[in-house]
Structure 1
Amino acid sequence: MSQPPQPPQPPQPPQQPNGAPQGFGAPQEPPAGGFGAPTPPPPNSPPPSAPPGTPAPAAPPAYGYPQAPGTPPPAGAPGYGYPQTPPQQPGYGYPAQPGGQPGYGYPTQQAAQPAPQYGAPGAPAPGGQPGGKKPNTQLTIIVAAVVAVALIVGGGIWYATGKDGGKSDAKTGDTGGAKGDAGGSTGGGGKEKVPANTAAHVLFQTPQPKVTDLTSVHGSWLTDKVYVKSGVKQIVGYDPAKGTQLWTLPLTGNVCESTPHVSADGKTAFAFESMEAGSKYASCTEVAGLDLNTGKLLWQTDIKGANGDRKTRFDEITLGAGTVAAGGLDGGAAWDLATGKELWKPTTTADQCKDVGYGGGDALVAVRKCGDIDHPTINVQPLDPKTGQPISTYKMLPGIDYAHIVSTKPLVLAADVGDTAGDGSGISDFFSVDDKTGKLLARIPAPGAKYSASCDSTSVEKCSMVTAGNGRLYVPTEQHDNAAAGSSSIGRTNEIVAFDLATGQPVPGRADAGDGYTLYPLRMDGNNVIAYKDAPYDKGSQVVTIDGGSLKSTLLLENPADRAVRDALTSFSAKYSEILYGQGRLYMGATLLSKPYSASDSDKKFLFMATGTG
């Protein structure tokens, strides 16, 4: 997402890019050479204004405290127990304050809404103060004086940070979770443990195989027993620690679509290409189930279109609650994961309604598009995974052409309402929905200039750098200058912030990436968040676990700062690569391969690589 305009800054020394350092005194690249364990040879086998009636997002709470909706207190008269609102802009990643410019990382405060009636849930007590108490004049003066001193010491910038002045708060230690916070949520419950030594080294890597054109290699999976990666017309299982090949599954075409979801017994699904008679090009028509631990192909199938003269082409595939579901232009189809039994096939109703895609995981949710292709009606429907019958329906707002499923449990959607995101991310707003009733719980604005989550523009489930769980949505902010109070750094950084899915309001606190780092959520781990940290040019990237309640970070893994290792890792972008973490190991995999520009460029391209602390 694009970076919003920043206030004028004093002259600063030139900033080193995150990639290769430049100029005298910068570290120089060592002589070319391999790193890590030897690679086994490859096998021979081949918002705009919402429509009338749409509830507007609630105003963000004052810093540090959740606040009931209503008219904020006048400047200079803070409520009892609340800090005085400073006139300056709040720090990045914090809620907006009344009367000032909103802080970076939170939605812009909407126009004041009518205050709820007294006695209604969430309504302020009489007098406009919590509990009905009137402001204590003496306390107000004391609080204002303390804030004034803080502003002077901080150089006139209101920026709340930890003790390290905005540096990374990732620490080694327990990941058991916080006891609670202002929002009532707690962290913990995760399976990933902090290793005794978080320093990682390269475990294994596989160079990119030779290709003559853009080649799809979608799909990588991880179980307790195997790391699995698709390659050119094959899928290979590797020992997750040693990298030795455990099995190879040859295919007649390349894997074109895959799902990241894996069943409890280590099974998943994918789609791959086939060449139909009379066609010059392969098409994504074959769907299959796979036992990841053994490499056994459970079943393979395809479906003829409505006219019966060609196979249905699928644009994406998922696995939800034991059902494999695939969507495309002809509609959606589904199969039982264990047996491959067909559960339903693509259909288009008389009113031009069809399933265009699905979200999976613990549940199965369909995105159903109806009517005119230029002005469609989009319904999101949690399904009975065995029959395809809708459990509930949520109708997306007019002006939305594509709906994206971020999570099915909890049900969280994303969309670019009225094409207002403006940055190609596919997201201007998130929507939290009750999956049992189809009722909208909260609409969360996510301006492209503030947040860096992304969804493939036309796909249903291909969203990255965002995750949901623990009653919250976790979103990274865009990179911005590290303007922490007292910091002399010229580096850039970002944060992960959270929103309450029941109310849509921002949750107090944030997870700071640290000077020069950029932080992206990967997945939930119990009530915690596993996140990847891109590093500045002279440090190694990291994996951290973020307590889902307190948003405190704990270091799990730190990669070497060696130039050759960093160059290899940065060849996998956080947005477009497959990044998996488990049991102290990090796996980075490519999704598309292209012909190298030169022999030297070929040496820098990898199909995947793994690092670990063990």
Structure 2
Amino acid sequence: MSPSANLNPYAQASGSPQPPPTQVVPIGVAGGGGNGNGNGNGRQGAPRGRLITLLAGAVAVLVLLGVGGYVLSGGDDDKEPGRPSAGDSAPGPSSSEGGDGAKDKNRDDEDGKGEERKKPDLNAGSRPGDATAWAAWNPDNSLPGESTLLNDLWVVGDTYVQAVHKEVVAYRASDGRKVWSVPLPGPVCDTPVNPTPDGKVVVAYTNGKQRPATRCNQLRLIDLKTGTAGWRKPLGEADDLIITHLAISGGTVAVSAGSSSTAYRVEDGERLFTTGRDTSGKATGGKGTLTCVPDDVAGGARLLQVDVCSGQGSPVRGGLRELDPRSGEVRWRYRSEGAWKIDKVVSVEPLVLIETEAKNVLRWRVIALDAKGERRSVPDLARIAKHDFRACGGSGDAGEGVQNCPGTAVDANTLALAQDNKLAVFDLDSGKMRWGTQWNDGNAMVPLLLTGGRVTVYQAATLSKPGRTVEFGPKGGEPKVLLRHPSGAAETEYATLAGRVLYERGRLVLAPTTLDGSDRELKARLISFAGAPAA
């Protein structure tokens, strides 16, 4: 793809030559502002056109079945799982789990011939300076044949941990070997974005004995450092528990289900408080009460209650409450202006929201708030609308929570937003765009980290070309290559569709958004790259 004149006003104005096709070119309007969204919660994904089809298909299936994101539960008895140690549920290093090039004795679902398949050598054809890759493979047909949503990816010590179907699994960061696995009686239906500071999470799963078995009504504590299960708690039977969302702040886990949210102490599962309808606001024109009903929760450095508000003569709008995670006391309230709802909390520190119009979800805006819930800035979407930037990179939603907004990054004063092969960086105080760029080879870009104005970006793989991990400086320009991914990993890397992307301590890890148990092809649950290229 050659540079387009309307995407490169700076080069046109200065008369300087266009960069070659492998370079990056500026986007935006000189001296103008911009808009974007950011993610300060460690949950990233790719704003890429090709993922929209995948997610749209997944959502369509969920809608048809009418059960949100929790249609894959089985009829297993709700057995009390044990408390596995590092070796109880995981056999340790084995040819069927981590590494490359080993043989995998998976059986074909239909003919049962037990064909032996060889995993690809991800590091084949590596050049000096290439990163080293490993993959954790789906070992057998332990997953349903349908698409199973892979949940949040956590980094705890030297392990990557993820809940997949009926287990929580830890993989060693250095080589992808399974460290431990905690089995659960039913499929996991939600996980929080972040664990507690001491490495504990509470996951929600379905009760296989109950009908319908899609009710997301069981909680379980998992210690991610030791791979052991703790307390278990059923949720209220009278609530609408098909869609349940979790958020952790400090030592508190908040559970949003139906028209209320309940907080529990992570340590022992004791109930701390419940939030319900909030009638503290006034409807438009002061006529009647503005009633706000809990809709979702967000966690991390703050515990936030996301509301949907309505009242006599008032349009449906969004609401937000910061809660004390121990007492539930409301610290401040925010109400959206006009007929706009809060679609995503892309960062809790600093506070950055995406709002969508109540009657047209394709119309969106970004709102940055200060520490008291007051407006900090409202970036101008019109500045980048001609470049087809969409909310959360147009990634869609597979039934996940309000903190799932792929392809964004935030620090204290800066926000990065990507759409396909375009990247834009904004000032959170003024809302103006600092710089923008388009990558000419067409690969999708995923902003991962913002540090001192520098943006770490994953440049996604194509079917024949591996991806890269790069860093843009505070003013953009040509990026510095941090990780050059080996060509042997291109096909496996591409197949993840960059569903979940993390960059931690110089290592990149990717996971698909969904996975199924079909034996027709070998699939990677995780693929990781580490090792800086030669200078």
**When the two structures are superposed, what TM-score results if normalisation uses the length of structure 2?**
0.68
Residues 427-479 of structure 1: CA deviation (Å, up to 9, x unaligned): 6210111231523532442638521424756842221111221312211144x
User: Paired residues, what number?
Assistant: 414
* Match runs of 1:452-491 below 5 Å: 452=390, 453-454=393-394, 456=396, 459-478=401-420
Q: Which letter does structure 2 place at the counterpart of 1:447?
A: A
Query: Which residue of 1 is the match for residue 353 of structure 2?
Result: 413
1:527 positional shift: 5.5
Task: Determine whether 1:234 maps to 2:170.
Answer: no
Tell me, what secondary structure is at the counterpart of 1:428? strand
Query: Which residue of 1 is the match for residue 65 of structure 2?
Result: none
Q: 1:322 aligns with which of 251, 256, 272?
A: 251
Query: Which residue of 1 is the match for residue 524 of structure 2?
Result: 606
Closer/same/farther in 2, CA of residues 204 and 456 from structure 1, 3 Å limit = closer
Q: Which letter does structure 1 place at the counterpart of 2:345?
A: I
Query: Which residue of 1 is the match for residue 7 of structure 2?
Result: 91
Give me the whole-angstrom Cα distance separating, in 2, the residues matched to 1:551 and 1:360.
Answer: 35
* Match runs of 1:94-493 below 5 Å: 150-151=14-15, 154=17, 167=23, 199-207=130-138, 209-210=140-141, 211-275=144-208, 277=210, 279-304=211-236, 309=238, 312-345=241-274, 347-348=276-277, 352-371=291-310, 375-417=315-357, 422=362, 428-445=364-381, 447=385, 450-452=388-390, 453-454=393-394, 456=396, 459-478=401-420
Contact kept, 8 Å, 1:166 with 1:512, in 2: the verdict is no
Contact kept, 8 Å, 1:233 with 1:254, in 2: the verdict is yes
Closer/same/farther in 2, CA of residues 439 and 537 from structure 1, 3 Å limit = closer
Give me the whole-angstrom Cα distance separating, in 2, the residues matched to 1:331 and 1:448.
Answer: 40
Closer/same/farther in 2, CA of residues 321 and 443 from structure 1, 3 Å limit = farther
Task: Determine whether 1:560 maps to 2:486.
Answer: yes
Query: Which residue of 1 is the match for residue 511 of structure 2?
Result: 589
Contact kept, 8 Å, 1:367 with 1:379, in 2: the verdict is yes
Residues 145-193 of structure 1: CA deviation (Å, up to 9, x unaligned): xx88x53x64xxxx6x6xx676159xxxxxxxxxxxx9xxxxxxxxxxx
Runs (5+) with no aligned partner, structure 1: 1-5, 11-87, 96-102, 104-146, 170-181, 183-196, 479-493
1:499 positional shift: 1.4
Give me the whole-angstrom Cα distance separating, in 1, the residues matched to 2:451 and 2:260.
Answer: 33
Closer/same/farther in 2, CA of residues 468 and 312 from structure 1, 3 Å limit = same
Query: Which residue of 2 is the match for residue 30 of structure 1?
Result: none
Give me the whole-angstrom Cα distance separating, in 2, the residues matched to 1:312 and 1:418.
Answer: 24
**When the two structures are superposed, what TM-score results if normalisation uses the length of structure 1?**
0.60
Contact kept, 8 Å, 1:314 with 1:326, in 2: the verdict is no
Contact kept, 8 Å, 1:312 with 1:330, in 2: the verdict is no
Query: Which residue of 2 is the match for residue 68 of structure 1?
Result: none
Tell me, what secondary structure is at the counterpart of 2:340? coil
Query: Which residue of 1 is the match for residue 74 of structure 2?
Result: none
Query: Which residue of 1 is the match for residue 467 of structure 2?
Result: 541
Runs (5+) with no aligned partner, structure 2: 26-32, 34-127, 280-288
Which structure is higher in strand share? 2
Query: Which residue of 2 is the match for residue 496 of structure 1?
Result: 423
Give me the whole-angstrom Cα distance separating, in 2, the residues matched to 1:444 and 1:300.
Answer: 47
Contact kept, 8 Å, 1:266 with 1:293, in 2: the verdict is yes
Contact kept, 8 Å, 2:217 with 2:236, in 1: the verdict is no
Between stretches 443-452 and 530-539, larger displacement belongs to 443-452
Closer/same/farther in 2, CA of residues 404 and 516 from structure 1, 3 Å limit = closer
1:421 positional shift: 6.1
Tell me, what secondary structure is at the counterpart of 2:490? helix
Give me the whole-angstrom Cα distance separating, in 2, the residues matched to 1:289 and 1:318.
Answer: 13
Give me the whole-angstrom Cα distance separating, in 1, the residues matched to 2:341 and 2:147.
Answer: 28
1:556 positional shift: 1.9
Contact kept, 8 Å, 1:208 with 1:606, in 2: the verdict is no
Residues 1-31 of structure 1: CA deviation (Å, up to 9, x unaligned): xxxxx9xx99xxxxxxxxxxxxxxxxxxxxx
1:396 positional shift: 0.8
Q: 2:432 aligns with which of 505, 521, 524?
A: 505
In percent, how many aligned pairs have the same letter?
20
Query: Which residue of 2 is the match for residue 579 of structure 1?
Result: 501
Tell me, what secondary structure is at the counterpart of 1:392? strand
Give me the whole-angstrom Cα distance separating, in 1, the residues matched to 2:178 and 2:470.
Answer: 29
Contact kept, 8 Å, 1:302 with 1:311, in 2: the verdict is no
Closer/same/farther in 2, CA of residues 435 and 589 from structure 1, 3 Å limit = same
